[in-house]
Amino acid sequence: MSNEAQGRRRIVLVAGVTAATLGLLATAGCGAGGSGDSGGDVTIEFAQWWEPELPDGEFQALMDEFEKQNPGIKVELISGPYAATKEQLFAGAASGTMPDVVGLDGAWVSDFASQGVITDLTALMGDVGYDDSELASQIQVDGSTYMIPVVNFVYPMFTNDALLADAGVDAPPTNRTEFADAAAAVTDLGDNTSGWILPLSLETPNGIQNDVMSWAWASGGTMLADGGPDVTNDDVTSAVEYVQGMWDDGVIAPGSFTMKEQDKVEEFTNGRVGMMIDSLAHINLIREANPDLEFSISAVPAEDGYEGERGIPYASWGIGVAESSEHPEEAFKLVEFLMSQETNAELSSIAGAFPGNTKSTPDFVADDELFAEAFEIYQAGYPANEFTGLPVAEQLMRLFGEQLQVLLDGGQTVEEMLEKTQAAWEAEF
């Protein structure tokens, strides 16, 4: 299954962008482009957050296979959590010392492309004679590809089966009323349990994308009009009012304003939260950290009475090549390897994701009940992430998050919050 409909290729076109202002980060920059060792091999650095989210040793095994197939090229993995990788890459972009190959979030592409720190892959693919016909999707800026989605993850709802059962909830909620009731029932259990968890860190603001806007997309809503911002519409207003209601009811886990995605996953894994919206990439991580935790996945609840197709939040493990790389052709060989039919099928299988190669088929569809359920959720809806490819996408999330925090703190109304966000977004566009 591809990032859009099965067997169908997708190009995401990004409008001309304005570079985001980058603050100086304390994180040390990545090493400069690849180097050769004493034996004459070329060493390419590959920075990503993927390895920690996969079963131990699995990603390194793929790199070992790449090196076996490509004598003379060595891969040095630079692995860390998503937030740390993001900080490292932005610091490397500012200093001109990005690794040769970089894992990319679609929200970063406009910034990096506008700064000229990632390579025009359309030109590079032409230089090496690469056939892109099997790529499920490409992320483009001004007509040129800068990111290739390697695998794609849907973001369903995770539910702690034991907590819900203890609270008298016999099935995952399917609409907003059921979700609010379930969250209240779990919170009422006491013992520091919460019904729902909502990460709203402004440092890493992707909670706006995954955990807030997903409520609008789940009911077929949108935050855009004619390619521009439209956050004061009924879809977004309804979603924000719903989140505010959950906040006022006290069913959201404490610490939201500084919480990041990995904190959310940790709290759920430790059994302190009844429900969260999260990536399929974390299923294996949760199972490994707490094998006794029984949990289910289901579609993000829609508005009461909604019967249309549900938008399914998704995110990609994208890949790009640094403009500063001294070995772009060798770097692209790694991209080509990861996008090949066999390797892409294997990576999507161990990650629990949908492949970026249209001819690849993940094993989990038949082998794992949770992933099979995710596949059915995916087939029943449509992928929805309107931030992907937008100019300064992360800054848009941050601006939304700033105003949302003021709202939840009691400092303004929903109408005021969305009007201020609309104005701030229009300035960025």
Is the Cβ–Cβ distance between 382 and 312 less than 8 Å? Answer: yes
Task: Give the separation between CA 49 and CA 86, rounded to whole angstroms.
Answer: 9
**Running DSSP on this structure, what letter comes out for residue 98?**
-
**Residue 74 pLDDT greater than 60, yes or no:** yes
* Rounded distance between C-alpha atoms, residue 359 and residue 355, angstroms: 8
For residues 358 and 136, give the distance between their C-alpha atoms in angstroms, rounded to a whole number: 5
d(CA 343, CA 401): 38
pLDDT at residue 390 is higher than 50? yes
pLDDT in tens, 280-336: 889 988 999 999 999 999 999 999 999 999 998 888 999 999 999 999 999 999 999
Residue 219 is predicted with a pLDDT of 96
Position 94 pLDDT exceeds 90: yes
Domain 10-152+315-379 has CATH 3.40.190.10: yes
- Amino acid code (one letter) for 310: R
Q: Find all residues with CB under 8 Å of 6, minimum gap 6, and list them.
A: 358
Mean pLDDT throughout 33-48?
A: 73
Tokens 């959720």 correspond to 377
**What is the structure's pLDDT at 30?**
38
Tokens 């590959």 — which residue? 46
User: Domain segments of the chain: what residues?
Assistant: 10-152+315-379, 157-298+392-428
More confident residue, 371 or 145: 145
Residue 227 has pLDDT above 60, yes or no: yes
Q: What is the mean pLDDT of residues 185-202?
A: 97
CA distance 276 to 342: 33
Whole-angstrom distance, CA of residue 247 vs CA of residue 252: 6
* Residue pLDDT, tens place only, 213-225: 999 999 999 999 9
pLDDT-wise least confident of 7-21, 126-140, 208-222, 393-407: 7-21
Side-chain half-sphere exposure of 364, counting CA atoms within 13 A: 25
Per-residue pLDDT for 423 more than 90? yes
Residue 187: both structure tokens together: 């919170």
- Whether the per-residue pLDDT at 409 is higher than 70: the answer is yes
pTM score above 0.85: no
One-letter amino acid of 396: L
The total number of residues shown for the chain amounts to 429
DSSP state of 254: S
Flag whether pLDDT at 38 surpasses 60. no
Strands (E), 135-260: 137-141, 144-154, 157-160, 194-196, 224-225, 228-229
Q: Classify domain 157-298+392-428 at the CATH topology level.
A: D-Maltodextrin-Binding Protein; domain 2 (3.40.190)
- Taking Cα atoms as reference points, which of 364, 411, 401, 409 lies closest to residue 421? 401
Q: Tell me the two tokens of residue 342.
A: 């066999």
Q: What contacts 409, CB < 8 A, 6 or more positions away?
A: none
CA dihedral for 210, 216, 218, 224, sign (positive or negative): negative
Strand order in the sheet with 157-160: 194-196, 273-277, 157-160, 295-298
Q: How many CB atoms lie within 10 A of CB 113?
A: 27
- pLDDT for res 40: 67
